[in-house]
Structure 1
C-alpha cells in the first residue's frame, strides 16, 4: 500500500477540498483527449499529479510540476 504524503505548492500546504485532510496518496494521471484516443496516441497525452485524500478519497489533479511531496511519519 502507498505511504501517505503531505503536499505543498510553492509555500502553500495543500489540504483536501472536501474534508480538509492533509494526507494524500500520490499517483500519475494521464489527461487523455478524444482526438489522441481516436488516433491511438493516448500515450503521448499530458500527465498530471493526482493527490488522493487519505481520509475521504477525494481526488485532486494538478498539472503544475512544482508540487512538492513530503513523507508522513505515521
Structure 2
C-alpha cells in the first residue's frame, strides 16, 4: 500500500505546479554528479525529497530539510 503525503514549507502548503493538487507520493531521489559516477562513488551523492503528484505525475524535488511531510489517509 502506497503512503500518500501532503507537504509544507514553513506555513505554506505545497501544491503541484502543474495541476494544483495537494497530495503526493514521497520518494528519495539521488542527485548524481558526473564526478562521483566516474569514481564509482554514486552512493555518496546528496539526495533530495521527491514528491510525485497523484493527479498528474509531475515530480517535484526538494533539497534540504525545510520541507515537512504529513501522512495523508488513503
TM-score calculated relative to the size of structure 1: 0.94
Worse-matched range after superposition: 2-11 or 39-48 = 2-11
What residue number does 1:13 align with?
Answer: 13
Task: Give the 3-state SS of the residue equivalent to 2:17 in structure 1.
Answer: coil
**What is the RMSD of the two structures over their aligned residues, measured on CA atoms?**
0.9
Q: How many residues align?
A: 74
CA offset digits 1:18-38 (Å, max 9, x no partner): 110000000110000001000
| Aligned pairs for 1:1-74 within 5 A | 1-74=1-74
Q: After alignment, is 15-24 or 1-10 more displaced? A: 1-10
Unaligned runs of 5+ in 2: none
**2:27 aligns to what SS in structure 1?**
strand
Instruction: Provide the C-alpha distance between the structure 2 equivalents of 1:39 and 1:47, rounded to a whole number of angstroms.
Output: 18
Q: Distance in 2 between matches of 1:47 and 1:72?
A: 23
Q: What 5-or-longer segments of structure 1 have no aligned partner?
A: none
